[in-house]
């Protein structure tokens, strides 16, 4: 059995993190005769699983739902939705990485590079129609 300090130290966490996870319903440590928290092997596994979930981008509330039944696979809809979000973030990160790699290898100044200009232009949203049918002045076009 580990104390809260021992467990926190083992994972490189502050003790207040473990207390917070307990208030969130993610941990439920046992108590000794003096009422002090005591953590066993199951708690070690749980903390490792929480950290893995956080590394995968899950928030504590999401983890509480996923781990609430003891088996994250009981919530396939949450996992599928999160996987779609991860795919979107990966695509954006890949595009950003490619732009940076191009910028590092391009002999032209960034502002003059046709590839960079194309990427920048692709991020400019189209004009927004107003409720009156005229184009929104924020789009750079004014009403006639």
pLDDT at 8: 97
Q: Specify the pTM.
A: 0.70
Q: Which run of H or E residues covers position 30?
A: strand 30-31
Structure tokens at 13: 């966490």
* Share of residues in the chain with pLDDT > 90 (%): 71
Poorest-pLDDT segment among 17-31, 88-102, 124-138: 124-138
Q: Average the pLDDT over 90-106 and give the result.
A: 92
Q: Average the pLDDT over 70-81 and give the result.
A: 87
Backbone angles phi, psi at 68, to 5 degrees: -60, -30
Q: For the chain, report the end-to-end CA distance as a whole number of angstroms.
A: 76
Q: Which run of H or E residues covers position 50?
A: helix 41-55
Q: If we measure between CA atoms, which residue out of 85, 79, 55 comes closest to residue 66?
A: 79
Residue 139: pLDDT over 70 = no
């Amino acid at each position: 059995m580990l104390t809260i300090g021992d467990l926190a130290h083992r994972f490189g966490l502050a003790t207040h993190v473990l207390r917070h996870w307990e208030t969130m319903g993610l941990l439920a440590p046992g108590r000794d005769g003096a009422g002090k928290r005591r953590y066993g092997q199951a708690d070690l596994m749980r903390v490792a699983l929480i950290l893995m979930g956080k590394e995968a981008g899950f928030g504590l509330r999401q983890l509480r739902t996923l781990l609430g039944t003891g088996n994250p696979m009981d919530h396939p809809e949450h996992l599928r939705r999160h996987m779609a979000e991860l795919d979107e973030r990966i695509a954006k990160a890949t595009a950003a990485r490619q732009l940076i790699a191009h910028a590092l290898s391009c002999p032209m100044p960034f502002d003059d590079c046709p590839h960079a200009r194309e990427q920048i232009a692709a991020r400019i949203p189209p004009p927004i129609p107003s409720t009156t049918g005229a184009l929104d002045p924020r789009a750079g076009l004014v009403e006639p």
